[in-house]
Chains A and B, each alone.
Chain A
């Protein structure tokens, strides 16, 4: 069963198209991450699902119901904002209880639900505080609490962790994911951080300039990027994407027109007599890995990720080979699509 369905959803501000048609079926309980560079339309897409932004064209269904013309409150969703959007004049308890009060639930039921959520999020000691008396991480949890007490059929997150420091971000990432698994609530999560995207997602949507470039599981996207954009966006360090001419040693199809060849840094191995020769420019030993910045005879830069114990010296020439056949990704140079 699908909880959220997008059918060719489009958005334009005046004459400027911002979302060019996104279609997707989200299954119940799935954790979907929308990822892409700044300004690609992630927030807009999420806000359309929330009902905060009108849909220019297409259909959005939530829980099998067409919601195009429904108010946010009638869509059975909850949203966590980047700045948390907690009501500053209300206590933590009232922040979480606000939506329940509006639904006219009995007082003791509201208290029970809020306290349950507070326990889940370790917010019990803070229920009487105002948001400004909380740390960033605690505010983040209150925002989560406000979303979960309402027991919506969909959670929407718009970069909820981007205001936290790196360590807390990793911790909250795990907490959110655990919580979501436990509640089994379908979630749509926006981020521009590809590590966050890869680690959290059941499936992810890679967006670029208002287009959903590819939708799939993290591994799927890593192993079979459908476009040059996805290939370069997913994975760190980024995939080497070069003209076919940069790799004269590889046997590439010649009947497909101009090609872009992609090889991930971690999929290159040192091999005697390998088809790729590259001169080492710079070595970055990271302990577990060694990142090698090298230069091909054509002058193009090539990144290589070798095991931490690899002995590489600057100025030497390495003989390299792709790890296996699947390590070489071919794209049409003009359309950017996978071949």
Chain B
């Protein structure tokens, strides 16, 4: 009897983690391994055989001006999304911190964009900015501005940045509010007595004390902009016009599934994988050090 219970108890934990392990294997490890394998292969354009080509796919990528453009586009997009997301969220959090008593409604209101799926968020903004029927386009036309993100690359980029930022603000906001609440009021009062005006107090006390939160959010937002914005790009611009919003994740998809260049696409995803691993390392390093002040 006892033996059997013992045996069961040994198996049971594995049984409990099995679903998670299976999910990880099927949806992460296996595709990743597959991508690694494919990234050194080339598909015969006429079907049939694939052959080993070594690092050729990677070489091709780094000599491909379109890929390098996409890299630049991604960096521009990430920087713009991350910074506007962080700055707007911080301003909102500072406002909320001042009136925190009445802020619960305000907070809930700010949180729900986070619950919206990326594709839906994208669709929402497409609708608002549609060149023919969009209400914001209409408003801009009244001021004499002719908005058309389907033709103008800069406008397309602006629009995806707006959509991506809007979705991420609530997340940043929550962390910033929590960070601000953790700063003792008396520190700011002491600074006020020491002679610092509101702006000086922010830069010399609030901001440094918020830096762990800010750094954490910086990494999270870069990861978000690099990887999680696929749905938004797909819904808003599909990478266009003329590749103006063709960020790396989207290019993996369009080259692989639309262009059917599986080897090149796999090589791209391997590069993305390396980037995300790098960012994760940065994040963990930081978390280990924990407090920076």
Q: Do A and B come from one complex?
A: yes
A residues adjacent to B (C-beta < 8 A): 50-52, 71-73, 77-79, 81-83, 85-89, 98-99, 102-103, 130, 146, 150
Q: Is the CB of B192 within 8 A of A72?
A: yes
Q: How far is B293's CA from A98's CA once the two chains are assembled, in angstroms?
A: 16
Chain A residues positioned under 8 Å from B187 (CB to CB): 85, 87-88
Closest partner residue, chain B, to A152 (CB atom): B193
Q: Is the CB of B293 within 8 A of A150?
A: no
Q: Is the CB of A102 within 8 A of B195?
A: yes
In-complex Cβ contact of A99 among B194, B197, B293 (8 A):
B194
- How many whole Å from B45's CB to the nearest CB in chain A? 60
Q: Is the CB of B195 within 8 A of A85?
A: no
Q: Which of B177-194 contact A (CB under 8 A)?
A: 184, 186-187, 189-194
Q: Is the CB of B193 within 8 A of A79?
A: yes
Q: Is the CB of A79 within 8 A of B209?
A: no
Q: How far is B204's CA from A82's CA once the two chains are assembled, in angstroms?
A: 22
Chain B residues positioned under 8 Å from A88 (CB to CB): 187, 209, 293
- How many whole Å from B290's CB to the nearest CB in chain A? 12
With A88-B209, A88-B293 known as contacts, the answer to whether A83 contacts B186 (CB < 8 A) is yes
Q: Is the CB of A81 within 8 A of B209?
A: no
Chain B residues positioned under 8 Å from A79 (CB to CB): 189-190, 193
Chain A residues positioned under 8 Å from B209 (CB to CB): 88-89
Q: Is the CB of B193 within 8 A of A77?
A: yes
With A88-B209, A89-B208 known as contacts, the answer to whether A102 contacts B194 (CB < 8 A) is yes
Q: Is the CB of B192 within 8 A of A85?
A: no
Closest partner residue, chain B, to A50 (CB atom): B193
Q: Is the CB of B194 within 8 A of A85?
A: no
Closest partner residue, chain A, to B193 (CB atom): A72
In-complex Cβ contact of A87 among B192, B193, B197, B205 (8 A):
B205
List the 8 closest A-B pairs by CB distance, nearest first.
A89-B293, A99-B194, A85-B186, A73-B195, A85-B190, A102-B195, A72-B193, A89-B208
B88 within 8 A of A: no
With A88-B209, A89-B209, A89-B293 known as contacts, the answer to whether A52 contacts B184 (CB < 8 A) is no
In-complex Cβ contact of A98 among B184, B191, B197, B208 (8 A):
B191
B162 within 8 A of A: no
Q: How far is B80's CA from A38's CA once the two chains are assembled, in angstroms?
A: 52
Q: How far is B196's CA from A146's CA once the two chains are assembled, in angstroms?
A: 14
B residues adjacent to A (C-beta < 8 A): 184, 186-187, 189-197, 200, 204-205, 208-209, 293
Find the residue from B191, B193, B197 having the highest chain A CB count within 10 A.
B193
Q: How far is B221's CA from A115's CA once the two chains are assembled, in angstroms?
A: 44
- How many whole Å from B211's CB to the nearest CB in chain A? 8
Q: How far is B192's CA from A224's CA once the two chains are assembled, in angstroms?
A: 41
Q: How far is B187's CA from A77's CA once the two chains are assembled, in angstroms?
A: 16
A73-B194, A98-B191, A150-B194 are known contacts; what are 14 more A-B pairs with Cβ within 8 Å? Answer: A51-B192, A52-B192, A73-B196, A79-B193, A81-B186, A81-B190, A82-B186, A83-B186, A87-B191, A89-B208, A89-B209, A89-B293, A98-B196, A146-B190
Q: How far is B186's CA from A50's CA once the two chains are assembled, in angstroms?
A: 12
Q: How far is B186's CA from A130's CA once the two chains are assembled, in angstroms?
A: 18
Q: Is the CB of B293 within 8 A of A102?
A: no
Closest partner residue, chain A, to B190 (CB atom): A85
Chain A residues positioned under 8 Å from B195 (CB to CB): 73, 99, 102-103
Closest partner residue, chain A, to B211 (CB atom): A89
Chain B residues positioned under 8 Å from A146 (CB to CB): 190, 194
Q: How far is B194's CA from A208's CA once the two chains are assembled, in angstroms?
A: 31
With A88-B293, A89-B209, A130-B293 known as contacts, the answer to whether A102 contacts B189 (CB < 8 A) is no
- How many whole Å from A289's CB to the nearest CB in chain B? 40
A sample of 8 cross-chain residue pairs with beta-carbon separation below 8 angstroms, ordered by A number, consists of: A51-B193, A81-B189, A81-B190, A83-B184, A85-B184, A85-B190, A86-B190, A88-B187
Q: How far is B190's CA from A81's CA once the two chains are assembled, in angstroms?
A: 8
Chain B residues positioned under 8 Å from A83 (CB to CB): 184, 186
With A81-B186, A83-B186 known as contacts, the answer to whether A73 contacts B193 (CB < 8 A) is yes
Q: How far is B196's CA from A103's CA once the two chains are assembled, in angstroms?
A: 9
Chain A residues positioned under 8 Å from B192 (CB to CB): 51-52, 71-73
Find the residue from B195, B197, B209, B293 having the highest chain A CB count within 10 A.
B195
Q: How far is B291's CA from A130's CA once the two chains are assembled, in angstroms?
A: 12
Q: Is the CB of A52 within 8 A of B189?
A: yes
Chain B residues positioned under 8 Å from A87 (CB to CB): 187, 190-191, 205
- How many whole Å from A145's CB to the nearest CB in chain B? 12
Q: Is the CB of A85 within 8 A of B293?
A: no
Closest partner residue, chain B, to A96 (CB atom): B194
Chain B residues positioned under 8 Å from A78 (CB to CB): 193
Q: Is the CB of B189 within 8 A of A85?
A: yes
Closest partner residue, chain A, to B194 (CB atom): A99
Q: How far is B191's CA from A77's CA once the two chains are assembled, in angstroms?
A: 12
Q: How far is B190's CA from A20's CA once the two chains are assembled, in angstroms?
A: 27
Q: How far is B293's CA from A89's CA once the two chains are assembled, in angstroms?
A: 5
Q: How far is B192's CA from A52's CA once the two chains are assembled, in angstroms?
A: 9
Q: How far is B149's CA from A135's CA once the two chains are assembled, in angstroms?
A: 61
Q: How far is B194's CA from A102's CA once the two chains are assembled, in angstroms?
A: 8
Chain B residues positioned under 8 Å from A51 (CB to CB): 192-193
Chain A residues positioned under 8 Å from B208 (CB to CB): 89
Q: Is the CB of A102 within 8 A of B196?
A: yes
